[in-house]
Structures are given as structure tokens and as C-alpha cells.
Chain A
Amino acid sequence: EVQLVQSGAEVKKPGESLKISCKGSGYSFTSYWIGWVRQMPGKGLEWMGIIYPGDSDTRYSPSFQGQVTISADKSISTAYLQWSSLKASDTAMYYCARIGAGTPYNAFDIWGQGTMVTVSS
């Protein structure tokens, strides 16, 4: 079964760092782009950026460039989303999702279950 399994919920304080993960299984992890999508409480979906684990080619939305870092470790089929200094406005559900082809020009066909990040003093 093709699936993406994300790390568990996090509660952090402003200024702290964080790295959440997304582990792929059931397919060739290095052959598909993986993306991250933010959903703030009660709001819609926001496309953050994507990475190709095969060569770590990474693209960011201008809204998130410089705010987060997307990476991947192909040896363990895992993608990451990290923050160096969290803000309260980073409180959201974060989804990873696979792009359904070897090109970034396709839809997200497989989604992780989501990781809730709460940032509060």
C-alpha cells in the first residue's frame, strides 16, 4: 500500500526550532516529488513547497521562502519540514503529499495524515 506517515503533533514555544517528518512507503520514494501544504485553523489549503528526493531539487512558494526549510533523506524515505524560529502564526496543520508523477506538474495523489503544530507561550 502506498502511504505517507507523518510524525506526531507538536507543541512548541515561540522562538523554538522544529522539524517534522513524512515517511513514504509502498513506492519508489526517490521517483516522486513530495510537497508540503499548510492549513491554518478553520482555513483553506496553502501550497508551501516541494522536493524531489532523488536529487533534493526543492521549490518554494514565495510566501514560504526563507520561512521554512524542506529537505529529504532518501536513505530512509523521509521528507522533512523545519523551522528555525517558530512564531505563533505557524500554528497550523501541516500535510505532506506526493505528486502523482515524476514531474512536478501534476496533482497531489497521496496525502499524509497531517501533523498539528501548536506554537504558544
Chain B
Amino acid sequence: EIVMTQSPATLSVSPGERATLSCRASQSVSSNLAWYQQKPGQAPRLLIYGASTRATGIPARFSGSGSGTEFTLTISSLQSEDFAVYYCQQYNNWPKTFGQGTKVEIK
């Protein structure tokens, strides 16, 4: 099973600042990586797939990069609605595992 490790566990950021979240795979997952956003009491929402392709309706301030084992989600200028938990997921190998999440909180 591929282990996905996200860092940091919690990121404190001020509105308008840039946030950079990391996700590392225990072995290569090519570009078969997705990022999800989950707000309290809500289902997760797909942000990025294929490591760098924004899902439908996702603002351009969200961007993804990386391939192989190292991936990054960048939120260029944090808005109030962006404070949430973010998960990465690899879908290259069975089972298709998630990272443990990064909570982005208001500084």
C-alpha cells in the first residue's frame, strides 16, 4: 500500500497570504494525484486532479504541481472561504490511498 504523507499537519496563514501544502508518496504515483478540500460538516470537494489540472469551477488561485513522489498544492492568496482541511489522494495503485490531511487555519 502506498503511504501518502502530508505536511504540515496545520498551517496558520493570514487572509491574502500564500499557502503551500505538501504531499509525499512512499513510491511513485506518476501524476495520478488529486487534492480535495473539506470544510466542517461538508463532503470533500475535488480541487485538482492529474496533479495539476483544476476541477470544474475551481478558482485559479488554486494550483497543483509535482509528479512521482513529491506534490504541492498552492493557494496564491487565501480567501476566508479557503480555511479548511486539504487532502491529497493517489489513484495510481490499489488501494487508492489518502493523505492524513493539512488543516489551513486563520493566523
Contacts and interface: CB of A to CB of B under 8 A. Distances in A.
A7 B85 CA distance: 25
Interface residues of B, number: 23
Interface string B82-96: 000001010110111
Contact of B95 (A45, A61, A107): A61
Interface of B: 1, 32, 34, 36, 38, 43-46, 49, 55, 87, 89, 91-92, 94-101
7 contacts: A47-B96, A59-B94, A105-B32, A108-B44, A109-B49, A111-B43, A114-B43
Given A47-B97, A100-B49, A109-B55, 19 more contacts: A44-B87, A44-B101, A45-B89, A45-B98, A46-B98, A59-B94, A61-B95, A63-B95, A99-B91, A104-B96, A105-B92, A107-B46, A107-B49, A107-B55, A107-B89, A108-B36, A108-B46, A111-B43, A114-B43
